[in-house]
Amino acid sequence: MKRTFKIGVLATAAVVLAGCASVNFDQTLADTSGTLGTFTQGKLELSRTQEQAQARSKLTADLLVQPLGMNEAVQLSLVNSPAMQALLAQSWADMAQAEQSGKLANPVFSFERMRLGDELELGRLLSFGLLELLTLPRRQAIAQAQIEQAQVQLSATVVEQVTQVRQAWVRAVATQQSVQYAQQVNAAAQAGAELARRMQQAGNFNKLQRAREQSFYAEAVAQLASVQHAATAAREELVRQLGLNDVQATQLQLPDRLPDLPKTPHQASVVTAGAKEQRLDVQLARHQLDVAGKSQGLNLLTSVLDVELGIRRDTVFDNAEGTRSTRKGYELDLRLPLFDWGTSQRAAMNAQSLAAANRYENTVRGASSQLRESYSAYRTAYDVARHYRDEIVPLRKTMGEETMLRYNGMLIGVFELLADTREQITSVTAAINAYQQFWLADAALAASMAGKPTSAGAMPVSSAASAGAAGGH
């Protein structure tokens, strides 16, 4: 009787423990939005109802009415992009699967009916994994660690997606702005080529002089075509990042130019002030190590033993005697380690734990170095862009004004004026590229500070500068 009572208590405790853990994904999204406020602006949401989908569509339409700034682009991506919604849904699924791994498997009920002569026997057996029950607290701890790991992974993925949107927006606006100046270069080159043709007809230009101007015009046409395609490709990349359909893509408006540089750049002390332990990559590596360590302890036992506990109740009817008897008891099923002692499984788990420990150590060691590199790229891009803004572009403007005065005074000819105009446009285009590189580096630095290293991309080469170099005199 005592044994049966103990088994009943054990089964009751199993039921209670099996329902301890749960995943509140709405709360997870709220926590993620709070942690990543600078990235998500509190707009992280998984749409699961028709009302939520309609609200998303209305917000999308409102955002597309005016030219889309960088922050608005991020907001639009969070509420409109199917890729972002798929990311959130997959994260929910990963957390639910992690939660499921910490639950106790349902018991198995077996029923049998046996007849022997006048005897009828009804057998009933309720069985469940005893070892699974005994290790339930450990498995729930592992499941909780996996859920926390999935939460950190969600934050890292959101940071990565938002950074991609920011950088796509920067490229789209910068290339759109570059097209305007490439058109001016093309117009100046066309005017020079036409003038050179007429000058040759009048006998004032030789064949070589005309060929130089014609060559520069031909290269300018090719450069304009390349820049226009780059602008189209950058815009379409932004369209994909925002998850726009064909109608929404036609409604997309972008600002005419990139934002101005901040008055002061971030200071290195502020960038590196955050503790390394708060970085997402360090947190993720730490959770992976935690899961590996807890799983290893559980695997030492489960790789060798497996125990099934069954509670049996049999009823025997003897028709000849007119009697009825009941048999009660329990049974244990043991897996015998005759052929496999779990050595390979334990070796694999040991190797995984060792790998997780080294990945964590590598992430911690590389965190500061990676952040210093990102800040160097950011600060260099800021200094270069500021140099173009404060030095090169104003000097080119002054030189242009002086050249125009000399032209008006008939001290120089029209070709010298056109050449100076091309050089001014080349400097402006290079300045646009410098601005683009800064804002790409700014987005990459924000991601690096959060703990999701992202490249700003290589410094782009100004197409107009190339054209200017080719057509110089």
What residues form DSSP beta bridges with 119? 116, 318
Instruction: Please report whether residue 389 resides in a domain.
Output: yes
- C-alpha distance across the termini of the chain, in Å: 107
What residues form DSSP beta bridges with 123? 112, 314
Q: Residue 469 has what pLDDT? A: 37
Q: Residue 468 has what pLDDT? A: 41
Which pLDDT band, with edges at 50, 70 and 90, does 68 fall under?
very high
Query: pTM of the predicted model, to two decimals?
Result: 0.80
One-character DSSP codes across 426-448:
HHHHHHHHHHHHHHHHHHHHHHH
Please state which of the ranges 54-68, 120-134, 149-163 shows the lowest mean pLDDT. 120-134
Return the amino acid letter for 81.
S
Instruction: Please report whether residue 20 resides in a domain.
Output: yes
Instruction: Please report whether residue 219 resides in a domain.
Output: yes
Instruction: Please report whether residue 334 resides in a domain.
Output: no
- pLDDT of residue 9 exceeding 50, the answer is no
Q: Residue 410 has what pLDDT? A: 63
CATH number of the domain to which 67 belongs = 1.20.1600.10
Closest Cα partner for 224 from 183, 192, 175? 183
Q: Mean pLDDT, to the nearest integer, of 445-455?
A: 81
- pLDDT of residue 295 exceeding 90, the answer is no
- What is the rounded distance in angstroms from the CA atom of residue 146 to the CA atom of residue 97? 9
Which phi and psi angles does 66 have, rounded to 5°?
Answer: -115, 165
Q: Mean pLDDT, to the nearest integer, of 184-190?
A: 81
Please, what is the average pLDDT of the chain?
A: 79
Domain of 383 in residue numbering reads as 2-103+135-303+342-470
Q: Mean pLDDT, to the nearest integer, of 229-255?
A: 92
> Which residues make Cβ contacts (< 8 Å) with residue 300, sequence separation at least 6?
346
Instruction: Please report whether residue 328 resides in a domain.
Output: no
Which pLDDT band, with edges at 50, 70 and 90, does 471 fall under?
very low
357-396 per-position pLDDT tens digit: 888 888 888 888 888 888 899 999 999 999 988 888 787 7
DSSP 110: E
- What is the rounded distance in angstroms from the CA atom of residue 233 to the CA atom of residue 225? 12
Instruction: Please report whether residue 311 resides in a domain.
Output: no
Q: Residue 419 has what pLDDT? A: 67
Q: Residue 239 has what pLDDT? A: 94
Q: How many residues does the chain have?
A: 473
Which pLDDT band, with edges at 50, 70 and 90, does 465 fall under?
very low
Instruction: Please report whether residue 325 resides in a domain.
Output: no
Closest Cα partner for 422 from 179, 182, 174, 180? 182
Return the amino acid letter for 329.
G
- pLDDT of residue 7 exceeding 50, the answer is no
* 415: exposed, middle or buried (Cβ count in 10 Å: 0-12, 13-18, 19+): middle
One-character DSSP codes across 286-352:
HHHHHHHHHHHHHHHHHTT--EEEEEEEEEEEETTTTEEEEEEEEEEEE---SS--SHHHHHHHHHH
Cβ pair 220, 467 in contact under 8 A = yes
Which pLDDT band, with edges at 50, 70 and 90, does 172 fall under?
very high
Instruction: Please report whether residue 337 resides in a domain.
Output: no
Please state which of the ranges 49-63, 121-135, 339-353 shows the lowest mean pLDDT. 339-353
269-288 per-position pLDDT tens digit: 777 765 565 788 888 888 88
Look at the chain and report how many structural domains it folds into.
1
11-23 per-position pLDDT tens digit: 454 454 555 556 7
